[in-house]
Chain A
Amino acid sequence: MAETAQMKVSDEVAITIQGMNKWFGSFHVLRDINLTVYQGERIVICGPSGSGKSTLIRCINALEEHQQGLIEVDGTVLSSDLKNIDKIRSEVGMCFQHFNLFPHLTILENCTLAPIWVRKTPKREAEETAMHFLEKVKIPEQADKYPGQLSGGQQQRVAIARSLCMKPRIMLFDEPTSALDPEMIKEVLDTMIELAEEGMTMLCVTHEMGFARQVANRVIFMDEGQIVEQNEPEEFFNNPQSDRTKLFLSQILGH
């Protein structure tokens, strides 16, 4: 599988972050973040809770506003212009810890809503695309049910399919498996691995180190709002440089 990690990374830049700073009130939550993500790269971001890793990826699709620095996604510079933000958001898919499916819509409607209203895709076509992606995440038979009738793992797979229906160039995952039972984690990770193997650019905040070893090209360790260490997974796990990273890895891999 180490081979997988090396393939399909191009020189084309997908995301550029330069000198980015963010504060929550007076709390300096992200400090001087510099990061370049290439098209097709799979990056896993880990770190202790409160280290700002979720905030970082939420800044990329402007769910959080950054106060300083530059974020450029797919050639568009993120500014406070609403049209700009909506354009970036429609190119960047996101999966949340708590899935955030729309409970008043069926699975199929969850998946077709954004294509129909944002992309102006005809309904028939949107439904075909939705069924295609639901088959991909292996739950086409649930299309007419409501999110409340599905298990957590199924809901998260629907959430992934919902994002994919917008044909995003980049996918962000914000702790997608943290709210799931152990046996459901696998089905979600399998879906994500499949996605990675197709060359999707992915940024995942996760504690699944097995996943990181298997599919990531790069692992980023964050602490106290800063990028402390980043490296290829092999090196990162076997030969961590900073003491903070060593401590974190010993805690997370210790048991």
Chain B
Amino acid sequence: MEEHLSVSFVRTEPLPQLPPPATEQGIVKWLRENLFSGWLNTLLTVLSLIFIYKLASDTLPWLLNGIWNTDSLAECREILDGTTGACFSVLTDRWNQLLFGFKYPSEQYWRPTLAFVLLIVAAAPVLFFDLPRKMLIFTGLYPFIAFYLIWGGTIWTPIFALLGFVVGYVVYSRLVRNSFATAFFSGIAAALVSWWLGGFLTDLLASETPALEAVQSRDMGGFMLNMILGTVCVSLSLPIGIVLALGRQSDMPIIKWICVVFIEFIRGVPLITLLFVANVVLAYFLPPGTSFDLILRVIIMITMFASAYIAEVIRGGLAALPKGQYEAADSLGLDYAQAMRLIILPQALKISIPGIVNVSVGLFKDTTLVSVISMFDLVGMIRGPILASTDWNGVYWELFLFASLLFFVVCYSISQYSQWLERRLQTDHR
């Protein structure tokens, strides 16, 4: 504008877009804003760089100079000849032991490996609900397939176990129209009877030489044991936790108090004592002569422990829902089961995702505690057979680094999945 007195102004030509100054774009801008925006930040940046350099200069030679193909620590040290370097050859040498334990028959390693691959297929439709719903049929069958693959023995055991569930479900669905309670308990009774009959038939039908060699529970070990315990316990404790959380909110005093006492008792006891109970004390309560599988006992204990925690997490989610959601569901005439399944739980579980993931990740890492009751999981294998062997006595860093890495990969994936799930389920403001 020139020296006019008038304030009116009309632009006749739009100004062209100009690029920002060189210091205000790209990496220069980023560096200036994030690393060198003041003398204090500059100082911190420099200190951090020095720290990173020191850390890298100490560990990188150790990592990069690692030896991967010797048979013992002595041999490895000989090759290193005083220079810095890791003896990763303990991992290659004892790879199978770390993964499967030291007693699992080596020619059968393909069985747990296959079970692991199938686990991914079975878990996929549960985790990613865009996948075709028909895949859930395989998920339903997976526990029996995995059991047969890992434990082997006669194929009739998983078949009759599956049959028991089917019979129970058929009885339940026949009676559920009349009364839920009758149907529920008749279903359980029918399943128990068919398992009992199945037990006899299994003994009759089992051949002397089963197609898959039977492997005993005490021969399981390594990371496989952690995976078995983690997968089974997480997938069981979630539904049990939901039931406990709903039970704790129930209007029926007996159900409410059973749930409260269970949750408070289990939460008030360290997991390690429960595991000792599973290992030693539980045997006293069982009829003499029954051999109750150790892995099964441990699974029961860890599941109880985790489900108590998950129940409390879900209770928090239920409490966070506005009362109006219950009222809206009620006012539309939905019954209790429908309101819970369609309205309340989808929202409460969504709110509880971070808490549930927290418990699940913790639970998965806690499976290493079974090493204390002399089961040879990954940590048990490292502390026991591997470090105690004459070949590898004294290799700590490499082994525990490997164990940490395995657990980190699994736990970090769970965490990433849960964040994806939260974003995916976000419907309130997008």
- Give A residues with C-beta under 8 Å from B: 61-63, 82, 86-87, 89-90, 92-94, 96, 98, 100-104, 113-114, 117-118, 146, 148-149, 162-163, 166
Whether A117 lies near B334 (C-beta < 8 A) is: yes
Whether A118 lies near B334 (C-beta < 8 A) is: yes
Whether B342 lies near A113 (C-beta < 8 A) is: yes
Whether A90 contacts B332 in the complex (CB less than 8 A), given A102-B343, A113-B342, A148-B427, comes out as yes
Closest 9 CB pairs of A and B: A90-B333, A100-B328, A100-B324, A114-B332, A148-B428, A89-B333, A94-B331, A146-B427, A118-B333
Whether A61 contacts B347 in the complex (CB less than 8 A), given A103-B428, A117-B338, comes out as no
- Give B residues with C-beta under 8 Å from A: 322, 324-325, 327-336, 338, 342-343, 346-347, 350, 425, 427-430
What CA separation (Å) do A188 and B429 show in the bound complex? Answer: 23
Pick the residue among A62, A87, A149, A162 that contacts B332 (CB under 8 A). Answer: A162
Pick the residue among B332, B346, B350, B425 that contacts A118 (CB under 8 A). Answer: B332
What CA separation (Å) do A126 and B342 show in the bound complex? Answer: 17
What CA separation (Å) do A41 and B361 show in the bound complex? Answer: 59
Closest CB in chain B relative to A147 CB, distance in Å: 8
What CA separation (Å) do A5 and B322 show in the bound complex? Answer: 37
Pick the residue among A63, A93, A102, A146 that contacts B330 (CB under 8 A). Answer: A63
Whether A114 lies near B425 (C-beta < 8 A) is: no
Whether A96 lies near B328 (C-beta < 8 A) is: yes
Whether B335 lies near A82 (C-beta < 8 A) is: yes
What CA separation (Å) do A82 and B251 show in the bound complex? Answer: 14
- Closest partner residue, chain A, to B425 (CB atom): A104
- Residues in A neighbouring B333, C-beta threshold 8 A: 86-87, 89-90, 114, 118, 166
- Residues in B neighbouring A113, C-beta threshold 8 A: 332, 334, 342-343
Whether A103 contacts B332 in the complex (CB less than 8 A), given A146-B428, A148-B427, comes out as no
Closest CB in chain B relative to A156 CB, distance in Å: 13
- Chain B's interface: helix, strand, loop or mixed, by majority? helix
Closest CB in chain B relative to A100 CB, distance in Å: 4
Q: A98-B322, A113-B334, A114-B334 are in contact. List 4 more A-B contacts (CB 8 A).
A: A96-B324, A102-B325, A146-B430, A148-B430
Whether B342 lies near A117 (C-beta < 8 A) is: yes
What CA separation (Å) do A90 and B331 show in the bound complex? Answer: 7
Whether B328 lies near A118 (C-beta < 8 A) is: no
What CA separation (Å) do A148 and B425 show in the bound complex? Answer: 13
- Residues in B neighbouring A148, C-beta threshold 8 A: 427-430
- Residues in B neighbouring A93, C-beta threshold 8 A: 331
- Residues in A neighbouring B332, C-beta threshold 8 A: 89-90, 113-114, 118, 162-163, 166
What CA separation (Å) do A63 and B329 show in the bound complex? Answer: 11
- Closest partner residue, chain B, to A172 (CB atom): B331
- Closest partner residue, chain B, to A64 (CB atom): B327
What CA separation (Å) do A73 and B132 show in the bound complex? Answer: 45
Closest CB in chain A relative to B339 CB, distance in Å: 10
What CA separation (Å) do A94 and B332 show in the bound complex? Answer: 8
What CA separation (Å) do A162 and B332 show in the bound complex? Answer: 9
- Residues in B neighbouring A96, C-beta threshold 8 A: 324, 327-328, 331
Whether B327 lies near A104 (C-beta < 8 A) is: no
What CA separation (Å) do A86 and B333 show in the bound complex? Answer: 5
Whether A104 contacts B335 in the complex (CB less than 8 A), given A96-B324, A96-B327, A96-B328, comes out as no
What CA separation (Å) do A13 and B384 show in the bound complex? Answer: 82
What CA separation (Å) do A103 and B430 show in the bound complex? Answer: 12
With most chain A CB atoms within 10 A of its CB, the pick from B333, B342, B347 is B333
- Residues in A neighbouring B324, C-beta threshold 8 A: 96, 98, 100
What CA separation (Å) do A90 and B334 show in the bound complex? Answer: 8
Whether A104 lies near B331 (C-beta < 8 A) is: no
What CA separation (Å) do A149 and B332 show in the bound complex? Answer: 23
- Residues in B neighbouring A117, C-beta threshold 8 A: 334, 338, 342
- Residues in A neighbouring B428, C-beta threshold 8 A: 103, 146, 148
What CA separation (Å) do A174 and B349 show in the bound complex? Answer: 29
Whether A89 contacts B328 in the complex (CB less than 8 A), given A104-B346, A104-B347, A149-B430, comes out as no
Closest CB in chain A relative to B314 CB, distance in Å: 16
List 6 A–B pairs whose Cβ atoms lie within 8 Å, in order of A's numbering.
Answer: A63-B330, A96-B328, A104-B425, A113-B334, A113-B343, A117-B338
Whether A104 contacts B334 in the complex (CB less than 8 A), given A96-B327, A148-B427, comes out as no
